[in-house]
Amino acid sequence: MPASAPSLTAYDLTQFRVIQQLAYRCAESIAKELRPGISEKETAALMKTWLQDHGVQDWFHQPFAWFGRRTAFEGFDGLRHLGGFNLAFYPGKQRLEEGMPFILDCAPTLGAYTADIGYSGALGENLMVERLLDDLMAHRQLIVQQIKQRLPMAQVSQAVDRLCAEQGTLPRHKAYPFEVLAHRVEKLSERNSGPSLARFGVRNIATLMKNALITGRREGWSPLWSSHARSEHPPTPGLWAVEPHLGSSQRSISGSQAMASNWRPTAGVTPPALLCCWCTATRTTMKSGCRWCANWPPTTRSSPTTYAASAPRTNQASAWTTAWTNWPMIWRR
């Protein structure tokens, strides 16, 4: 186990869950306000205001929003000399239309705890988004299974790539900086606020880069989980924001559109005992309730477009039509 393996208490896990639920309440609230004609910039600004009104003063990154073809990051991955960073990721002037897919993405920090979540769906009916939701279920099962087997993390990412090819989807997470499937999320020092640079929180990014360039290299692991050689190591303990992002180009009512669906859980990879799959509403079957959130009974998925990603069962009446769900998984030895 790396010397830098985080020592997270039950209280820490609860606080990570609290900020994650807050982030999802933000996404759900703003999704309900989406109307034809609203722009990505306007939507991201609404999300930022909502989070600030609920006490957020620091970030891993400030909110992003993508609509239509931009949900598949079409043309975003051109700046290889900058590690994949591209200004095209920033919310733009694209306006939402009926039937158009959308992605809402935010990563707020409260004190020492950060969540990095995504939420997507469509304004009205979109059968491709529903299909991609189904495709994502297989990726969840694959990632959990192979991490529990303690396969090298690069091999797990490569297995995701192969599954995309079998499904006929595109692994659009490769458009992310450094082509990451996931990144590790750290407990920070206790502060209520922090500076941001280019929409990214300095505290979080500095910690991530320290692990990438110094700690991780010294100990033989990387906080940037991808299919590349830097991830050729066993699963590293900690909390991970895992984000397989599926894309497809299909003919729809509004013409030829590139669409995407993304699942961004926070996962702790310290096998072998699975303690939490919060929340169980995203599982097709489950024999017993979650052992971490024991008050949440087992459930089944009721339809291809109905999820209750981070909400208790009592809120299932307002379940989301979403292509992104956040599914923390905690393993402990």
pLDDT of residue 86: 72
Residue 73 DSSP label: T
Tens-place pLDDT, residues 270-325: 222 222 333 333 333 333 443 333 333 333 332 322 223 333 322 222 222 223 33
Helices then strands, counting H and E runs in the chain, come out as 6, 15
The domain limits of the chain are 10-271
Residue 107 DSSP label: E
Tens-place pLDDT, residues 158-188: 999 999 999 999 898 888 888 999 999 999 9
> Is this model's pTM higher than 0.85 or not?
no
- Whose tokens are 């931009």? That residue is 70
CA distance 72 to 175: 9
| 210 exposure class (CB count in 10 Å sphere: 0-12, 13-18, 19+) | middle
Greater pLDDT, 169 or 46: 46
User: Quick one: CA torsion of 20, 22, 28, 31, rounded to 10 degrees?
Assistant: -100
User: Two tokens at 241?
Assistant: 């924001």
Task: Count Cβ atoms below 10 Å from residue 125 Cβ, excluding itself.
Answer: 13
| Domain at 10-271, CATH from 3.40.50.150, 1.10.238.10, 3.90.230.10, 3.30.365.10 | 3.90.230.10
Backbone angles phi, psi at 17, to 5 degrees: -65, -40
Residue type present at position 328 = P
User: Cβ distance 44 to 91 under 8 Å?
Assistant: yes
Greater pLDDT, 192 or 109: 109
Using 50, 70 and 90 to split pLDDT, how confident is the model at 267? Answer: very low
Pairing of strands 266-268, 329-332: parallel
CA distance 285 to 282: 9
Q: pLDDT exceeding 90 applies to what percent of the chain? A: 47
Does 27 score more than 50 pLDDT?
Answer: yes
